Amino acid sequence: MRIPRIYQAILLREGEIINLDSQAAAHVARALRMKSDDQIIVFNGEGDEYLGVIEAVDKRSVTVRLGAQQQPATESPLHITLVQGVSRGERMDYTLQKSVELGVSEICPVTTQHISVHMDAVRAQKKQSHWQGIVNSACEQSGRGVVPTVHALQSLQACVEGLAPNEAPLRIVLDHGSASTFSSIDVGNAGRIVFVAGPEGGLSDEERQWLIAKGFTAIAMGPRILRTETAAIAAIAIMQARWGDFK
C-alpha cells in the first residue's frame, strides 16, 4: 500500500512531534481512516520529506513523529513557468493540477483581453489561495517535494514586464496560427522556459504580436484547435519529452 503524503507549511525536523493542521488532520482521520502506528510522509514544499509515524488520532487532531529525512527525486531539470490566461472554474483547476503533475515550476495566472472571468481584488486573493491549495494537493499525489508557487493574479502585460531579462532564454506563446512547432526550436542548455497559454477565448492578435515583440516565439500545437486546459498540459508534456525528464 502506498504511504500517504501530506503537505504542511511548517518547519520540519527529524525526530520532532508535530500536529497536523485541521484540514490535513480531517483528511487523515476521516477520509483515509488512518490509525496510530500507521506510516505517513510529511513535506513542506522545500524539497525534502520525512517518513513519519502517527502517534495519536482523534476526530480533531493527528499527531505525527517525524522520522528520517529524505529527498524525492521527482523534480524536473527543466524549470517551466506557465503563464496561464484564467479560465472558468474546474477548467482552471484541472490545468493547474495536471501541470503540477507534469512538473511545472511556477504558475502565473493572468487576465487577458478575451477572458470570460472577471473578479475584484478580494475574490482574486481567494482564488489565488484556492489555486495554491490545488497545487499543494497535486504535489501530495504526484510525489513532488517542491511545491510550485501560484503567483497573484495580474495582467498579462504586468506579468511579462515583471520578468527579469534573463528569466528564461526560451519564451513561447501558444498560437494555433503559427507555422512553427516545438520540433523547430531548441532550448539548448538553457533549462528554463516561460510559456503563455491563452484563456478559453484565446489571445488577441494584439496580445500575440506584443508577446512576439517581447521575445516570445509563437508555436502551434498541431492542426487541431485545443481547449485551453488541453493546450497547456500538452505543451508541458512535449517540453518534458524534448528537454526535461520524460526522455
Domain residue spans in the chain? 5-70, 79-243
190 pLDDT higher than 70: no
**187-191: Cβ within 8 A, 24+ apart:** 187/78, 187/239, 187/242, 187/243, 191/77, 191/78, 191/79, 191/243
Tell me the one-letter amino acid at 90.
E
**247 falls in which pLDDT band (50, 70, 90)?**
confident
Question: What percent of the chain has pLDDT above 70?
Answer: 97
187 pLDDT higher than 80: no
Please tell me the class of the 79-243 domain: alpha beta
156 pLDDT higher than 90: yes
**163 falls in which pLDDT band (50, 70, 90)?**
confident
Which region among 50-54, 58-62, 212-216 has the lowest average model confidence (pLDDT)? 58-62
pLDDT tens digits along 208-218: 999 999 999 99
Query: For the chain, where are the E strands, in sequence order?
Result: 5-7, 17-19, 39-43, 49-57, 62-70, 79-85, 106-111, 149-150, 154-155, 170-174, 192-197, 217-219
Residue with the bigger pLDDT between 186 and 222: it is: 222
The Cα–Cα gap between 29 and 164 comes to: 45
The fold of 5-70 is: Ribosomal Protein L25; Chain P (2.40.240)
Q: Is the pTM of this model over 0.85?
A: yes
23 pLDDT higher than 80: yes
